[in-house]
Structure 1
Amino acid sequence: MGYEFKINKTIMIIIGFLFLFGIVIQLSRSNYVLQLNTGNEPLHNKIIERTSALSAKEVKAFNEDKFLLIYDPEDSESMALKDNNVKTFEYLRKALEVVPVSNIPDDFTEYKNVIIAFSSLEKVSDMNRLTNYVDQGGKVFFEIRPELTDGLFAIYRKLGIYELGHDFEKIKGIQMDSDLLLKGNQLKIEEGFIVNNSLSVQINEACKVYASSLKGLPLLWSTPYGKGTFMVLNGTMLGDKLNRGLIVGSLSYLNEDFIYPIMNSKVVYIDDFPAPFPEGHNDDIYNDYKRNIASFFREIWWPDIAKVAVKDDVKYTGVLIESYNDRVNGPFEDRIGKETLKIFGRELIKSGGEIGIHGYNHQSLTKDQNQVKELGYRAWGSEKDMAESLKEAKKYFDEIFPNYTLRTYVPPSNILSEEGKKAIKEAIPSIDILASLYVDDEAKVSYIQEYEVGKQFIELPRLSSDYHYSDINKWTIASSATMFGSFSHFIHPDDVLDEERNRGDHWNVLSKQFSQMMHDVKKNYPWMSSMTASESAEILKDYSSAQVFISEKNSKLNVYINHFSGNLDFLLRTDKKIKTAKNCDVEKVSEDRYLVHAKANKLVIQLEGK
């Protein structure tokens, strides 16, 4: 008995689909995908038309809120506090007038807030002017605890203090008792990087406490006085760049309604990746995973890191190293990690990430041996040698990714000289982003940045680092979310091997802490836009170029934006409900904060109230 086998149309379609799918998979694994134009060229070269809400004449006539800061030029702490505020207000796009204590104006009524940035209150000739200003509705922020002098004794009860000790206390750590740092309520910092010299005080029940010491001493509070408010920082921490978020949060709570532009950017860097994986054996890795070092990074570390990206909405920016030799003069060779670059570079790009340059090797681009001697590095002999090494790294990269535009450079060990910057521009002209550090390290040798757009480079600092979900990372995350609406973090693959950096923890601990950190960032700030360094640089351009003018009357906020690119976000802190919002999308991101996304160059937000 014979049977005739027939293939129906549906089966033919399925077979055809599987065949095509197989071709696509093979192509994705082949070198063909590496030839595609997967770089950042379209993003980098796009033409943006910027618009302005106000004419030059209207800007000149605009009556914006002014803040006054009073400082003591003879006091180094006061000078540091003054400088930190000046930069903070630049980011906030708010007008800050700065005067020495010897030149205090007779009348404070034109100022929205007065900031006292010095501790010797006896230098104020007439403190009644200040208290009368608050009594009539003004707001004064003491950003440093006063000295125990007659100037404080004359005013301390008006600051909400009913019992004042006779000495100062050295306070390590801090406990947040409010959401003054965005999503930072109950954040407890026990590590010693936050230190305050504080007054021993008891404050009355009318005071609202925002932060305390770990033993309950009030460190930051506000108190009503007449129709206005005093706010007091009982410490000395606000002159530190790391704590700018606390300045912004304090101003946000001192005022009923406080709105300012932010970057809204989440970037995670992997330094030294792609790079040649170390060869050899590590006892801890072998005992935990029965693998040598290179196999561990390929089969354990990278899958774990990639899983975090998918789970917690992270785009990685990897910065490559060609070799780990210590050569600082030619010839520059040793292309030993080509297969690693090909495999993992492709994985980075396919996952939406970016590849940048760390260097030909890990020798920092400086001619100053003193800068790198503690690291065991060698200084370069000339700018020409630096440039030649970078040209070799570019050739090495181009052999695998010939159509990719390199834009981002991360300095090895975050050390970079002016000669090094010139060498970068000569060797790889497409690089226009430098990503180093926002806060200085203990050795004071790093390349320290502010967020800014320069003539040759966009300065895009990293704010936090490490796999550990440490106190300093928790503080930095909350502070930068409040200050910039941003998160910028970096890790190194070989932190796993370095006993000093991993603090004795194995990968099972490090990976869990890193995963928890990324999870909490996503949970607390789900509105933050995940992006690569190049994408974040474009956001920084929009943020930096925008001029913002704000007027407030009868609970109505009018926000005017000049040089508006079509993309700018704000954070608004208010206890009031939002009744209407024109030309913007508003999203509630905490109990009293809103993310405001501008859709035009003039926004109108009507709050409940008058």
Structure 2
Amino acid sequence: MKRVQDWLLRFRWQKLLLVWGVFLLIAAVLFAERSGVQYTHTRFRLSYLPQEQAISKAQALQEQPATCLLLCDTRQSGVDNARELFTQLLQDMKVAADVVDLAEVSVNDLPAPENYQTAVVLMPNVEPLGEELLRLMNWVEDGGGLLFGMSPSNDRYFTVVSAKLGVLSTSGEYKQAESIVPAEGFMLGGGQRYELSDPFDSSLAVALREDTEVYAATGDEKVPLIWGRRQGRGRIVVDNIGIYDKVMRGFYAASYSLLQDAVAYPVINSAVFYLDDFPSPVPGGDGTYIRRDYGLSISDFYSQVWWPDLTQLAERYGIHYTGVMIENYEDDTLSAPERQTDTEQFRYFGGLLLRQGGEIGYHGYNHQPLCLPDTDYGDAYAYNQWPNADAITAAMDELIAFQKAVLPYAVGSVYVPPSNILSAAGREILGTRVPGIRTIASTYFEDGSGLPYVQEFDVAPDGIVEQPRIVSGGMVGDSYMRLAAVSELNMHYVSTHFMHPDDLLDEDRGAAEGWEVYKGGLVDYLNWLEKAAPHLRKQTGTECSGAVERFAALTVTTTGTNDAWELTLGNFHDEAWLLFRANDGVPGTVTGGQLTLLTGNLYLLKAEQPTVQILRQEG
């Protein structure tokens, strides 16, 4: 050792050694960054349940006694849509319900409301109920919770009970529900105006009694859309919205949660941010606006502007992105899959994504949806079909093997269909022949074409987790998407968002406005989300799927005394999340969980044990 030290002291170029050392260090760091080796296995804070323990919402409710009576009359206009909405809504809230249709059952054969805790009436004209309507009103007096879920018609039977519904008078005229403004403290995101798509004259113009509380109204004429009041020992709530689209579920769920002294229902508690087509080869497209704004090539824009900006947003808002990989952009669905040879983009961006705490899933071997020749894209898309199931399986096997080769530490399990298109045959192949796929993240809403794979948050019979994406892009201030976002915060306490790197190459997706405007819209949404739901967990796709599994399996029974509420949770695993509304009393000490005030009398409950006790505060 001393000889080496003496030699270094005599070496005339010793100062150069320091310079060389610095250059070698820089080179090593750059090499590590470009090759993506400085990351470890993805560490999920919440992962999948054992497959034998993951059950669907329907399975979870099978053994639950019905506590809600849903009365409808499908002979009346709009009732089919309202019934579909409420049936799904009650299932998601884990409320077992008996559904009785007066189009099929005589009014004399209706179940007694005394056998239930709550009842939902879905018929604008309540005349078919006859004297049963008065029986329902007496049941409310004795402690029942009654929800009129459809805008009422001004018929003679409505006139008889209107005072008990909180109505002082009505002109009989219907007003346009152009927007909805939930009262501050009633819902997450309350106190703000949300625009309704394609509004029409759907809401009965009413004047309400002083002892009636308005929970939501239109933004322009202040027409009451949701109101409620105490009636004896029970509660009555009226939904006067008149729109029964999927996008409105959260408003109806919030209405239902007003019916009892305390209402608790399972939620997911997750916010996920997907990057479609990422990592992938540098996409083709028109880089005109990127050159206009930055003077950069498409590739340099992604590495020098787009990704650094996304990294800053991730650090600011606690996001862990989920990228979904495309191996190539070739349209060939007939030839055997060929391995992508240019892997630099995949290793570089994939490594950075994993180092950021993110996750990488699958988008496709190429960007062709998993559809066989029986799928007709019409004029909507120029995609090619796959010739048979073997071709689809081979393409998925190649994609999974390619990811493992270029990013050996990635743990992929989430599949996102290109353009959210996935045929029934393709869906079956994923569930039976591609065991690496544990989650499908497609879309929550129809688009009118019939092509998208539309999902509910659930566990499918083949064990795959269904995790739909709700909003997209940088313009989430758009009226429909913001409405969808606030609705789902109150329905499932969830936000699933996706965007594409190549949005900035397509004028229809905001290219002309430029990245700064697009990014500004995204920041606006993130600020809104943080304010509306500050306790929402930021998760990756797999973590959200773990949360969906726990949500789907969970059941809840709430009982109350003068001193406390007790929640008994079925199919409880390691944790559970619920929204808890205290309509009568203020929660105090909690045993078996943690309670966080969200707004008004609405709380977020983290259950840590299968039995949770919430004491009522004195006074």
Q: TM-score, normalised by structure 1?
A: 0.88
One-letter amino acid of the counterpart of residue 318, structure 1: G
Counterpart position of 1:370: 376
Question: Which is further off, 357-366 or 281-290?
Answer: 281-290
1:462-481 mapped onto 2 (5 Å cutoff): 462-468=469-475, 469-481=477-489
- Say whether residues 1:332 and 2:337 are aligned partners: yes
Contact persistence 2:66–2:98 (CA under 8 A): no
Establish whether residue 487 from structure 1 lines up as the match of residue 492 from structure 2.
Answer: no
Q: Which moved more, 1:467-476 or 1:162-171?
A: 162-171
Alpha-carbon distance change, 365 to 324 in structure 1, aligned in 2, over 3 angstroms: same
Query: For structure 1, which segment, 449-458 or 527-536, has the greater mean C-alpha deviation from structure 2 after superposition?
Result: 449-458
Displacement of 1:175 in angstroms is 2.1
Q: After the TM superposition, which residues 231-246 of structure 1 pair with which residues of structure 2 at under 5 Å, given as runs?
A: 231-237=237-243, 239-246=244-251
**Separation of aligned partners in 2, 1:47 and 1:109:** 39
> Which SS does the other structure have where 2:114 is aligned?
coil
Residue 294 of structure 1 is aligned with which of 296, 299, 314? Answer: 299
Query: SS at 2:380's partner residue?
Result: helix
1:599 matched to 2:608? The reply is: yes
Q: Structure 1 residues 172, 43: CA separation in 2 closer, same or farther (over 3 Å shift)?
A: closer
CA deviation after TM superposition for structure 1 residue 330, in Å: 0.8
Alignment match, 1:264 = 269
> CA separation in 1, counterparts of 2:312 and 2:334?
40
**Equivalent in 134, 138, 142 of residue 140 of structure 2:** 134
Q: Are 1:177 and 2:178 an aligned pair? A: no
| C-alpha displacement of 1:292 | 2.5
Structure 2 CA distance for aligned equivalents of residues 386 and 373 of structure 1 = 23
Q: Which amino acid aligns with 1:100?
A: D
CA contact (8 A) 2:430 2:437 kept: yes
Q: Say whether 1:84 aligns with 2:85.
A: yes
Instruction: Check conservation: 1:173, 1:195, Cα contact below 8 A.
Output: no
Q: Which residue identity lines up with residue 540 of structure 2 in the other structure? A: T
Q: Please state whether the residue corresponding to 1:589 is helix, strand or coil.
A: strand
CA–CA distance in 1 between the matches of 2:290 and 2:351?
26
Once the two structures are superposed, the pairs formed by residues 189-204 of structure 1 within 5 Å of their partners are 189-192=194-197, 197-204=202-209
Stretch moving more, 91-100 or 113-122: 91-100
d(CA) in 2 for partners of 1:49 and 1:602? 19
Question: Given residue 609 of structure 2, which amino acid in structure 1 is its aligned partner?
Answer: A
1:509 to 517, 521, 524: 517
Aligned residues between the structures: 588
1:12 equivalent in structure 2 = none
Post-superposition shift, 1:460? 1.1
Shift of 1:533: 0.7
The question of whether the paired residues in 1 share the 8 Å contact of 2:266 and 2:551 is answered with yes
Matched to 1:97, the amino acid is: D
1:161 aligns with 2:162: no
Greater relative contact order, per chain length (Cα 8 Å cut-off, separation 6+)? 2
Deviation per CA, 1:37-58: give whole Å up to 9, x if none.
Answer: 44879955879999xxxxx9xx
Per-residue displacement from partner, 1:473-510 (whole Å, max 9, x unpaired)?
A: 32222221211121111111222222222285321111
Aligned-CA RMSD value:
3.3
State the shift of 1:591 in Å.
2.9
Which residue in the other structure is 1:11 paired with? none
Contact 2:36 2:348 (C-alpha < 8 Å) held by counterparts = no
Q: 1:549-596, CA deviations, whole angstroms, 9 ceiling, x for partnerless residues?
A: 222222521112233212111221125322321111222222322222
Instruction: Give the 3 Å change call, closer, same or farther, for CA 152–426 of structure 1 in structure 2.
Output: closer
- Following TM superposition, by how much is the alpha carbon of 1:431 offset from its aligned partner in structure 2, in angstroms? 1.2
* Deviation of 1:27 (Å): 7.4
Distance 1:582 1:151, change over 3 A: same
Give yes or no for the alignment of 1:460 onto 2:460. no
Identical pairs, percent: 27
Q: Which amino acid aligns with 1:490?
A: F
Give the equivalent residue in structure 2 for 1:143.
149
Q: Distance in 1 between matches of 2:39 and 2:587?
A: 51
Give the alignment partner of residue 559 of structure 2, picking from 551, 566, 569: 551
What amino acid does structure 1 have at the position aligned with 2:68?
Answer: F
1:539-578 pair list within 5 angstroms? 539-574=547-582, 576-578=585-587
The letter of the residue matching 1:584 is: G
Q: In structure 1, which of residues 513, 526, 536 is the aligned counterpart of residue 534 of structure 2?
A: 526
Q: 1:307 to 1:37 in 2, by over 3 A?
A: closer
Task: Give structure 2 stretches of 5+ with no counterpart.
Answer: 1-5, 10-18, 55-59
Q: Which residue of the other structure, out of 312, 315, 321, is the alignment partner of 1:316?
A: 321
State the SS of the aligned residue for 2:248: helix
CA apart distance, 1:359: 0.5
Contact 1:173 1:193 in 2 (8 A): no
Relative distance call for 1:372 and 1:416 in structure 2 (3 A) is farther
Instruction: Give 2:569's aligned amino acid.
Output: I
CA distance change for structure 1 residues 400 and 40 in 2, over 3 Å: closer, same or farther? farther
Which residue of structure 2 lines up, in the alignment, with residue 9 of structure 1?
Answer: none
Per the alignment, residue 209 of structure 1 pairs with 214
The change in CA–CA distance for 1:141 and 1:391 in structure 2 (over 3 A counts) is: same
CA distance in 1, matches of 2:581, 2:46: 36
Worse-superposed segment, 400-409 or 120-129: 400-409
Would you say 1:276 and 2:281 are equivalent positions? yes
| Aligned equivalents of 1:585, 1:353: Cα separation in 2 | 28
Secondary structure at the counterpart of residue 374 of structure 1: coil
Distance of 1:18 and 1:44 partners within structure 2:
45
Which letter maps to 1:359?
Answer: G
Give, in whole Å, the separation in 1 of the partners of 2:36 and 2:510. 39
